[in-house]
Amino acid sequence: MAKPIHLKCAVCGNQQAYIPFEPAVCNACQSQWLEANYDYTAFKREILRGIPNRPSNLWRFQDVLPLENPSALDLYPAGGTPLRHSNRFAPDLGHDTVFIKDERYGPTSSFKDRQAAVAVAAMNENGIREAVIASTGNAAVAYAAACARAGIKLWVFMTSLVPQEKLREAALFGAEVIRVSGNYDQTKQIAAQFAQRKNLLLDRGATSVPARESMKTIAYEIVEQLGWRAPDWYFQAVSGGMGPLGVYQGFKEMFEMGLISKIPKLAIIQSEGCAPMVRAFKAGKDTAEPVIPDTRIIILSTGDPGKSYTYLWNLTQRHGGVMESVTDLEAYSAMRTLAKSEGMAVEPATAVAFAGFEKLSKQGIIGKEELVVINCTGHTFPVEKHVLGDQWAVDVHLSKDQSPAPREGLQAALENLDEKTTTVLLVDDNADDAHLIRRLLENKKNYRMYHAKDGWEGLSIARQKLPDLIVSDLTMPGIDGFGLVEELKLDPRTKDIPVIVVSAKDITTDERKRLNGHIEALYQKGSLPTRKFVDQVINVIEDKIDEKSKE
């Protein structure tokens, strides 16, 4: 039997009974940091015996998971993922003892599979047949798959900003998917209201004992895979913070059982566009102020981490650690570097952790001889366009049929390949307008085209691809055309790229002054037929190419 003996408050020490699916809140001080306590003496004996006759997944550690009788259940497999030595990514930064905990080998390629496995097993054990979850993507897919196997109906609430591939994947497993036009914090509120009105179980993330306890199996696996020793550092990208809180609990239990000699330092990495924890940490505060997320890495878009930050802050003060943020562009760059150096395709949220490691390494915070483990999860394919763009391959046409090309044909193809292609970036949230302009431009010449759906994406692509011309809409969500132009002109890499601004509304005198001297031309939608507008765009391109050739 593995049911917790009791819950103990880490703040005031109060002990209380564990009641499945009641929010883990201290009856004495209202703290949400309650730790489940088990029969550790019996479990340690099993570990010292080599944990015989156990599966090679997370159920290997079922003695410290909150289920009454795990062996009686048809358990959903998760965990048991490999720990890989970094052969090129970390050594290129001067580190030889960095390991990657490869959580991509779960049922849905995410460390959230662990959470879903334990939470859904607990639902099954307690006769729950319908549940609700709010998610930024990975947890929704993991729960949908686990609930499908258990025959539990799942309602999934996700922000509409989540990649459509993840929405469809959750629906494929039979979940009822509700798309919310708002941020993740708003989505959580709607999900909670829906669950309350329908009297359904709501998965509560960090305050759910089964969900949080599942994560400590990562720590147990790491220590066993390292020969029963603890790393110096554990890295993880975070949104709400439940993952590293759970992983810490595993290290703490092993330390108190005398199985390891130290508790690793935590490196908490966030996306710069949604980094309330990092802001508070660097300000020396033990509480985090909520922020409005402004990142394309939607999985990490929890603007209000609540008490989770305070608990993580306490851990870093007690055992050492750091919180750092990286830009979306740094994350995408690390994503590409990891693929090329380790042959690992990961999601942007994981790339945030690797970009954070790279940043902290260069700052000298991570010692060259320290043993580091980085959590790796997810796969890149729903978002590879942000890394590779649309023009990720170059076509070489030798002949219309499949016959061998004549020498002169091959030479012409190679010369054409060597010729610099004119690159145009379209920044427009109206896909129809962008598609029409793109098609008309491509009919004129073999331009290399990129399309950004908003100003932030446009800025990122501009800095990465350095196009010959940018055509931008003026009114867009997030950063508008004015902000985009100003950011472009402030960056030495992009300040000389000509910009054509297109507006659907009348431009005021003040707005014209704001743009004056920073753009090549200003057009109002509808003032010119689209074809004539495209002809004028081409004239600007050709004029700029002529100017370059004369320099």
Is 407 part of a structural domain of the chain? no
Of 333, 361, 385, which marks where a domain is finished? 385
Please state, in angstroms and rounded to a whole number, the distance separating the CA atoms of residues 497 and 462: 9
- Domains: count for the chain: 3
Is 15 part of a structural domain of the chain? no
In the block, residue with structure tokens 């994350």: 331
Please state, in angstroms and rounded to a whole number, the distance separating the CA atoms of residues 7 and 539: 72
Residues 355 and 309 in one domain: yes
Residues 171 and 88 in one domain: no
Residue 330 Cα to chain centre, angstroms: 13
CA angle 376, 256, 26 (to 5 degrees): 85
Is 401 part of a structural domain of the chain? no
Give the residue, 527 or 132, on which the prediction is more confident.
132
pLDDT digits (tens, 9 = 90+) for 428-466: 888 777 777 777 676 666 677 888 888 888 888 888 778
For the chain, the average pLDDT equals 84
> Taking each helix axis from N to C terminus, what angle separates 431-444 and 530-550, rounded to the nearest 10 degrees?
60
Q: What is the pTM of this model?
A: 0.71
* Nearest residue to 379 via CA among 107, 99, 109: 109
Of 150, 181, 207, which marks where a domain is finished? 207
pLDDT digits (tens, 9 = 90+) for 183-227: 778 888 889 999 999 999 998 876 789 988 999 999 999 999 999
Per the structure, the complete domain to which residue 187 belongs is given by: 112-207
Residues 238 and 371 in one domain: yes
Residues 377 and 322 in one domain: yes
In the block, residue with structure tokens 């539990």: 152
SS3 string, 241-278, reads: CHHHHHHHHHHHHHHHCCCCCCCCEEEEEEEHHHCHHH
pLDDT digits (tens, 9 = 90+) for 481-518: 888 888 888 888 888 888 888 777 777 887 777 777 77
* Nearest residue to 89 via CA among 351, 446, 414: 351
* Nearest residue to 302 via CA among 183, 421, 401: 183
Q: How many CA atoms lie within 13 A of 85 on its CB side?
A: 7
Residues 491 and 360 in one domain: no
Of 357, 385, 413, which marks where a domain is finished? 385
Residues 128 and 158 in one domain: yes
Is 6 part of a structural domain of the chain? no
